[in-house]
Amino acid sequence: MTHFPEVPAFTGFNKPSRVEADVQDLDVQGVIPPELDGTFYRVQPEHQFPPKLGNDIAFNGDGMISMFRFKHGKVDYRQRWAKTDKWKLENAAGRALFGAYRNPLTDDEEVKGKIRGTANTNAYIHGGRLYALKEDSPALVMDPNSLETFGYTDFDGKMTGETFSAHPKTDPVTGNMCSFGYASKGVLTTDMTYYEVSPEGELLFEIWWQNPYYAMMHDFAITQDYALFPVMPMTSSWERLEAVKPHFGFDTSMPSYLAVVPRKPVTTAADIRWFKGPSCFAGHVMNAWNEGTKITLDLPVASNNMMPFFPDINDAPFDPVTGSTYLSRWTVDLSQNEEEYRSERLSNMIGEFPKYDDRVTGKKYRYGWLVVIDPSQPVEIKGGSAGGWVMNTLGFVDLETGAEQKYWVGPVSSIQEPCFIPRSPDAAEGDGWIVMVVNRLEERGSELLLFDALEIAKGPIATISIPVRLRFGLHGNWADAAATQSLEAA
């Protein structure tokens, strides 16, 4: 018998729904611009089976991929499991075989050595392929139309690292998918890798180096010439795993770093520049660019840990004030003998899940969107929070004028990461729409909201009812129709 535990992570809004679905022509209030032709992909963690150890964190759920296909002013919805090796083994057994997040010591004997990935963090389109991604494992390849799972790829044997980040970036100039791995030689190792994959799916080169300490390396940025890696003291050890503590713990005694890696096949560890800063939390990045030797990186930063489920390494209580993230700008100049990066705050909104118009990846850019926590708004937790944070507001920043906009979704709702959709391939930066999932916690339902990207304060131009409750989700991406047809054509 399956019964999910009666704990906040698995009850109320967070109860797993485990629904695979095909629904044509969803109910729409408002108008979907008829020229919108493409697909919004997103992923949520969702446990296939009750957790082996009785409770678990959302980050350890199995990947469930949703796609919303926009065409002729209509939206079709499809949802499928990302069928990882773990999913298949557990599905055959009819129960959980893998234990705690990133802790192989808690797994059943029979699955020792198997790939533990859950593919629950990003649904990314490149070269006509859909990659379902989790940072502890290789990339899982899926069909972008049917959502059938093909399996893990090592890029024809050319990827020698064990892991592939959930946050690749596509260089708009070369078309290459730039990505990286950490713990590249296995759990807790400090080995790092950088990869570039051509639009044809060929892994062009790999760079290997060592991090100063084992850290959660969740995201990175590219510029025209460099790959940039924030390193923050979200760390771990075999002692933690043996004690079955949460995999990660935050160590405020350790500095943060910025690593600057030249994006060239000939780069070796000796070519990497390291810049130091005070201990801080740096999870996701917005965008970055370089003008010659001058590098600019925009990212939300908190002065202390922002993840309550990965606690302070010395058990200091979680502090939501110092754990609040603000969009910040880190700068360095490679021509100077600097040892530290400079940091300045760009916005006073508490914001994470930064997004921008990804046609300007690696270039000087103007607009950004964020999931904002607005503490000035009333909150009524009915039906349970989705994820734990009260993510109640969509935020917008114009980095040229400093203008900001906000759209609050109400006291009993929480939002997921927004995604920008360009009006056309050659439209100006920011000219297009924002699509975003909102969870209606009390109704136990979800909607997809569509906004004019530069006028989010006006509220949605269309509200699309999703007939299935979507849980706390991570990342999503838009793909123009042309981008998902290449595989069919090939």
Residues in contact with 121: Cβ distance below 8 Å, sequence separation at least 6, in sequence order: 43, 45, 63, 133, 134, 135, 166, 474, 475
Report which residue type is found at 389: W
- Burial class of residue 279 in the structure, from the number of CB atoms within 10 Å of its CB (0-12 exposed, 13-18 middle, 19+ buried): middle
d(CA 393, CA 407): 5
Least Å distance, CB 341 to ligand V55, is 21
Residue in 323, 449, 328 with CA at minimum distance from that of residue 394: 449
Least Å distance, CB 106 to ligand V55, is 16
d(CA 303, CA 348): 14
Nearer of residues 44 and 153 to ligand V55, judged by Cβ: 44
Least Å distance, CB 170 to ligand V55, is 20
Nearer of residues 111 and 371 to ligand V55, judged by Cβ: 371
Least Å distance, CB 307 to ligand V55, is 8
Least Å distance, CB 310 to ligand V55, is 9
Q: Does residue 457 sit in helix, strand or coil?
A: helix
Instruction: With residue 450 as reference, give the H or E element that holds it.
Output: strand 445-452
Least Å distance, CB 302 to ligand V55, is 13
Instruction: With residue 331 as reference, give the H or E element that holds it.
Output: strand 326-333
Q: Which residues of 53-91 are buried (b: 16+ CB within 10 A; e: fewer)?
A: eeebbbbbbbbbbbbbbbeeeebebbbbbbbbbbbebbe
Nearer of residues 122 and 267 to ligand V55, judged by Cβ: 122
Nearer of residues 163 and 347 to ligand V55, judged by Cβ: 163
Residue nearest to ligand V55 (CB): 59
Nearer of residues 306 and 454 to ligand V55, judged by Cβ: 306
∠434-130-45 over CA atoms, to 5°? 70
Least Å distance, CB 232 to ligand V55, is 11
Residues in contact with 282: Cβ distance below 8 Å, sequence separation at least 6, in sequence order: 230, 232, 256, 299, 300, 301
Least Å distance, CB 218 to ligand V55, is 4
Nearer of residues 9 and 464 to ligand V55, judged by Cβ: 9
> Which residues bind to ligand V55, rule: CB under 6 A?
45, 59, 120-121, 135, 216, 218, 283, 474
d(CA 90, CA 61): 13
Nearer of residues 191 and 352 to ligand V55, judged by Cβ: 352
Q: Does residue 242 sit in helix, strand or coil?
A: helix
Nearer of residues 45 and 246 to ligand V55, judged by Cβ: 45
